[in-house]
Amino acid sequence: MSAALHVPPAGAPLRLRGRVVGDGRPVVMAVVNRTPDSFYAAARHDDASADAAVARAHDEGADIVDLGGARAGRGPRVDAAEEIARVVPLVARVRARHPDLLVSIDTWRADVARAAADEGVDLVNDTWAGHDPQLVEVAAERGLGVVCSHTGGARPRTDPFRVAYPRTSSDDRPGEPDDALDGVLDDVVATVSAGARRAVELGVDPASVLVDPTHDFGKNTWHSLHLVRRTAALVALGHPVLMALSRKDFVGESLDLPVDERLEGTLAATSVAAWLGARVFRAHDVAATRRTLDMVAVLRGDAPPARAVRGIA
């Protein structure tokens, strides 16, 4: 007799402004960049195309839209004033046109987060691990959610170079084998745990504090792959886990594919992370991600099939 299939524990639910997001299913966070130089050409938007992208994401099943005004990687300098000019009016338009859609601001600057909060943003996605320590204070003061990320100490808009993470503990986690790459997991767990503790101490709802291992940022491809495999260790922290996997370099390097051919690899990584309990998935391809996550939820037993008539009706 074969052993029963082990289904990992479900991740912590996400709550923003008192509203539980996703109704028990994984959450899709759509990427809409109000930037001319996003690493993925299809995600580069001016005002008109950004509005259309938001509407499309809404129609395709996004729960949250993540609006960015400055490219994460290297590129022309974008100061706070320019970032605000690009993204804050977009926050206001989304809030007015799609009142049921939750809005996230992708920024590492407190000034930008504060201006976005004035227009009704719900979540601050700090992809640079608290580089501006006042940013989480803005989230706490305004009743917003916040993402606690990991960059290995890298400064905003820089690329990793020969990064290394030695093991900090010789103790294996229960049920997990020893692995030389667990140094990056140790560092991620320590960093996001510290960020989450600070957010909660400042008054952010623990269910509104997301933890993000932040694939590619301050990491090589081996590190990012390992963090997908060890998603369960992040889920065990008790906060909703955000996975920003979409079309990233670790997917491209794994398959030797350019950015516009990385959808299948992204969805494979998404499926593994969702099976292991990650809750929120930041995605360029909303419809495909929504369907993938819904299928994983059915396979895990978290949701029933949309219909089941074969062999019955």
CATH of the domain at 38: 3.20.20.20
Question: In this structure, is residue 175 part of a structural domain?
Answer: yes
CB–CB of 13/240 below 8 Å? yes
Question: In this structure, is residue 305 part of a structural domain?
Answer: no
Question: In this structure, is residue 70 part of a structural domain?
Answer: yes
Q: Is the dihedral of CA 204, 206, 207, 211 positive or negative?
A: positive
Question: In this structure, is residue 11 part of a structural domain?
Answer: no
- Domain span at 71: 23-300
**Bridge partner residues of 106 (DSSP):** 68, 125
- Between the CA of residue 257 and those of 72, 110, 208, 214, 287, what are the distances in Å? 21, 36, 35, 21, 21
- Span 116-132, average pLDDT: 95
Return d(Cα 90, Cα 8) in angstroms, integer: 38
Question: In this structure, is residue 96 part of a structural domain?
Answer: yes
Return d(Cα 8, Cα 2) in angstroms, integer: 18
The predicted pLDDT at position 275 comes to 97
Question: In this structure, is residue 3 part of a structural domain?
Answer: no
Determine which helix (DSSP H) or strand (DSSP E) holds 74, and give its type and residue range: none
pLDDT for 47-74, tens place per residue?
889 999 999 999 999 999 999 998 877 7
Is the pLDDT confidence value at 298 over 60? yes
Question: In this structure, is residue 126 part of a structural domain?
Answer: yes
**What's the mean per-residue pLDDT of the chain?**
92
pLDDT for 246-297, tens place per residue?
999 999 999 999 999 999 999 999 999 999 999 999 999 999 999 999 999 9
**Number of compact structural domains in the chain:** 1
Question: In this structure, is residue 217 part of a structural domain?
Answer: yes
